[in-house]
Chains A and B, each alone.
Chain A
Amino acid sequence: MASIEVNGKSYETDEEGYLIDLAEWNPEVGNFLAQSENIEMTDQHWEVINFLREYFEEYQIAPAVRVLTKAIGKKLGPEKGTSEYLYGLFPYGPGKQACKIAGLPKPTGCI
């Protein structure tokens, strides 16, 4: 199994770099995973990451991109509930990239 090291602590990941145990996640791990994706985290990024973690806490799944986009629009305002906005923050896909940074599994139905 693969692993990453953040601040001297080791975290297990799968072969694609997704964290195995989401309970181990913390913002430093999030920052580290973001760097490995070449993403500079801003408040706008964290807003989406925190939303994803709350969504997972409530429903026990990572939302599909379409569902995420709609839910973000409802929660954070319609100007943010668009794929342009979310792909602007996470160019390789909000589902795939943002879920990885948030320490969540890859979204179900992400093909």
Chain B
Amino acid sequence: MREQLINKLADLAVNKTKLMLWIMAGITLITMVLSGGMSMTPKWSDMLPEGDKRTIEFDRILEEFQSASSIIVVAQGNEADIKAFAEDLAPRVLDSLTIPGKDKEPAIYVRRVDYKADLDFMKEHGFMLMKEDDLKNLKDIFQDPGLAELLTNMNNSFEKEYIQPSESMSNREEEDGALIFLNGINDWAEAIGHTLRTGSIRTSDAEAAVDKLLVGEPYFLSYDREALIMNLIPTFSMIDAFMIMDGTDAVQAVLNETLKNHPNVQAGLSGAIAVGRDEMYYSSQGLEISMGLSFFLIGALLYMAFRMAMAPALALLNLIIGLIWAAGIVAVVVPVLNIMTAMFMIILIGLGIDFSIHIISTFTEMRAKGLSLEKATLAGLQKSGGGVSTGALTTSVAFLALMIGDSRAMSELGLVTAIGLLAVMVSSFVLLPVFLVVRERRYSKKRIKKGLSAEIAPRDLTLKPLGKVGILVQDNPWLSIAAVAVITILLAFSAREITFNHNMMDLEAEGLPSIMLQDTVQEKFDLSMDFAYLVSESVEESRELKKKAKELPSVASVEDISIFIPSPEQQAKRVPHVEEIHALMKGSQVTPIMPNDLDRILLEIERLEMNIMEFQSMAFLGGQDKVYRRCTEIVGSEENPPDITVFSNIYGLFDQGASIVTGKLNTFQDAYAGYFTSSVLQMANTSPLSLEVLPESIVDRYASKDRSLFLTTVLPSGNIWQDRPFMERFSIELETVSERTTGMPVIMNALIDIIGRDGRNAAYLTLILVYLILLLDFRSFKYAFIAMLPLATGAVWMVGLMQIFGFQLDMMNVMALPLILGIGIDDGVHVVHRWRLEGPRSANIVLSSTGKAVLLTSLTTILAFGSMMFSPFRGYASLSYALIFGVGACFFTTIIILPAFMGLLDKRK
């Protein structure tokens, strides 16, 4: 049947050339239109099995929670500059934005900007948000706003806190609390120093110092206060692939424009959306570069191999048309590509060109032997058709075997590549002969015009050196087999040593702005963006989940809405303390500072400095670096005493004379005391906290759009990327809290497991299916087995060589193992086919002719995959190295093993 089909195709190519061209043009046009519907998603979760609970939950979170899809602006510079930049940028991004370089109407891409804490809410309910223990410790401060009393109370409270240092700084949250306290004191002392120096203080500055002391820093500043985060809540989510590109580009343009007004500030975009945009942009760009490069390199190689320009051009043209057909069909079957399936085109280039090479090789060989156009076309298809169709079928089946897996990463890649490969094969059988006939006819016409013979002079296009290798191996079969066996055993030992790199960050693009800023956020804010999510249906459930999650050994911190809505029991316990603060402050009276108060004030300031010094020592011993650094900034260190500190500045200013100092301190007291009293009274509000009283900016952060679901964010206590057992433990422990746990750590943990399992299963299935196909094709157990031998040894060589050259397996290149089974089998299939056609003692002709084609196809595949080395995505590069090793190994095992078996079997005959 295959023969009949081939004869028919050869006949159509020669006798119905124009009709065939028109039909093919029509198909190309239709598939081109269809391929326009293809898009790409940057979400790793889209690689998990369809219907996976983690994916469903993740998508639901992206859909329901505005805060889950955010663009993070990271600004760096000095504190004042970055705050000014944030104030400038915030209103600008909320406007209608245009996308540079795109002819689109301006649109609103940002719904809200969170870059400051909601101070009004904090000042309305601040004390009810404090833990009972903190209220007990701190309430002394709020007894009397008079400067001397306030300093005394501050010291008392400081020392009370100090006597529980380990408890108060045993985890990150408590360390952050200590920093807020220190920052407040520092600004307070600076305000005193400023007033003593200038004799005046602006009301707004005094009030800001009070706010810092009472509710902390409003901006989201890093620990060194040299970086600031703004959280942009977009009008779209991670699910909208096109909006990710447009929205991020529009925001980037505004940011660039704003930066012109702030030359001392550096800023960029990060967060899930910006990373998604960068990944899509750079992966597309990388794949485009890879495709262009591979076309160029393959064309150059074919030009050198065939010693003519037209044949490679036709092969590439046929490939391009085949790819268009493939893209059109794939767009219908799998309209949205993920990061893995996006590279199917590169695979098709590497493998699809092989069909053309085999057909052109035999066609030109037949023409060079002097056969007529009709006969050469037929003979070309007949001699290469069997190998091409079986090779295409085995490779397609190998890819289809990937569909056995649960993960969409593998199953979709398998499906689209198999479909694509078959599409390119069809175009190679149907279209390429037509092209070759057209080309030959035009060539003949030109020759006739020039008065030359229409027929081409016979030429030998075979590769003699390969033929010689074939003879050598064929004549010394046992020596060759022994050599291969020794190498294979050694490489098998090497392969056993190969390790698996679980760090997904090593697969990401290096130097992407958004990813580099993630590192900045990690370093400066000690904040990982790789958190897990838990969803609950009520505030109470969220509180309960938070409590359970916090107890897990693998959890560093948990954030949810219950921070702002303490339980009724907690609120009831806090009420008496808050009422006490209210009563004390209400009954307080500020008296003017008298000269005889100065000694006490000075003493208390010195005591405050000493308290910070002791806090600093305990922080150093306790390894609390952030607290130690902040203390050192405020009071210096004994081994490197600074010239001036906020405290030494104040001491110097006390020498101005008692009456002057008294006057200035009264100015300071007058500026802040009233505001301090009113703020404390306002904060001492015992009205119950509930969802209804929370401001929208807070509720949006934790609640779904319809307020029916609540999001809990869980940060791991270890590095999930560098410690795979920890990632696994974190996921398993969280699943004990909620079955609906999701987020990057959980998804990646599942993905690593699933892809590993899928890869193994697919490899086994591929081996079985390929053997069955070969059995059907050759109708001989022996030949099917021999054809598979180079592949089996090649696979071992591949992993062994990777280990020797220092490569590790990872989540991308592990896919090379099942892939190489499909790709590598072709070499053996073509050589065995030709061997059976040519008969005994034919190693010379088989290797010099088909061997040359196999060499060419291996080189083109290597060039296509090798072009991915230049992709900014290290994952693609990792896969490309593995496939280069694999394809190279399969070629060498083919030209050594098969002639050896030919020699052995021929001897028996």
Q: Do A and B come from one complex?
A: no
Binding site for B on A (CB under 8 A): none
